Amino acid sequence: MSSIDLHCHSYISDGALSPRDLILLAHQQEASMIALTDHDQIDGLNEARKTASELGITFINGVEISVTWRHKTIHIVGLNFTPSENMRQVLAENRSGRLQRLAQMAERLEKRGKITGVYEGALALVNHPDSVSRTHVAQYLVACGAVRNTNHAFKKWLGDGKPACVPHQWIGLNDAVQLIKNHNGIAVLAHPARYRLSATINRLLIEEFIAAGGEAVEVGSSTHNLSEQLRWAELAHQYQLLSSVGSDFHGNGEFGRHLGKTPDLPSICTPVWIVFK
């Protein structure tokens, strides 16, 4: 196990804890280096950095950008960038439309599932209304008794292609990677095994990501099984990409994700943190 965690969420997006409480928990879990990577949000970084410096944990600025690539949603993590007003604006633009999308999801759930109160219910669970996500809808569906747990909510209603999943148009791959690079950060292809792409499309994604300026891939994701980790370690090696590690912890009781504890990288990998200054 590694004590480096470069992917986790606070309640600034769809996590359960404040940035401060997240870092306090990371400290309890003996993390040595942590990046907060809220979805299209960097408003938690200052609070997290301050807490980390009190506790002697190395803090890395992070963000997880939602991208639309070939009609699919892909996540790009940005690490170790210098934030700017321009970056805040681009991310706010990427989040805009989430409320409208929530209204559409609520309408579908009411029509097809006779589930009411979704719009207000999901908004009651989110800290920043423009960050409202499928996670909050899933939590509301559990709270009102429509499903057993959030996993069931995604399986039945909210997962990609399911009846209440409203596709969203996010920023393009090139724009997301360039945004990170223009702020002196490293762009990381997040949890790549989760996209379920064919081998050909997968290679296209890696090649377009590299062409855009992408430099790393999340090999040690807590959401990858061992064979996925090994496969992505080999791909990282082949394409000379740096390797990252992350729990993708949200604090919502997800199975197998422990803040500050991530899988060790296979020895063929070059860790992304060796380039952090």
Residue 83 makes contact with ligand AMP by CB under 6 A: no
> Which position among 134, 183, 191, 261 is part of the footprint of ligand AMP (CB under 6 A)?
134
For residues 153-192, which are near ligand AMP according to CB under 6 A? 154, 159
| Residue 171: CB minimum distance to ligand AMP, A | 13
Residue nearest to ligand AMP (CB): 133
**Closer residue to ligand AMP (CB): 27 or 39:** 39
Residue 221 makes contact with ligand AMP by CB under 6 A: no
| Residue 50: CB minimum distance to ligand AMP, A | 25
> Which position among 151, 178, 182, 270 is part of the footprint of ligand AMP (CB under 6 A)?
151
| Residue 228: CB minimum distance to ligand AMP, A | 16
For residues 32-71, which are near Mn ion according to CB under 5 A? 64
Binding mask 236-255 for ligand AMP (x = CB under 6 A): --------------x-----
> Which position among 5, 6, 7, 14 is part of the footprint of ligand AMP (CB under 6 A)?
14
In three-state form (DSSP H/G/I as H, E/B as E, the rest C), the secondary structure along the chain is CECEECCECCCCCCCCCCHHHHHHHHHHCCCCEEEECCECCCCCHHHHHHHHHHHCCEEEEEEEEEEEECCEEEEEEEECCCCCHHHHHHHHHHHCCHHHHHHHHHHHHHHHHCCCCHHHHHHCCCCCHHHCCHHHHHHHHHHCCCCCCHHHHHHHHHCCCCCCCCCCCCECHHHHHHHHHHCCCEEEECCHHHHCCCHHHHHHHHHHHHHHCCCEEEEEECCCCHHHHHHHHHHHHHCCCEEEEECCECCCCCCCCECCEECCCCCCCCEHHHHCC
* Residues lying near Mn ion in the complex (CB under 5 A): 14, 64, 75, 248
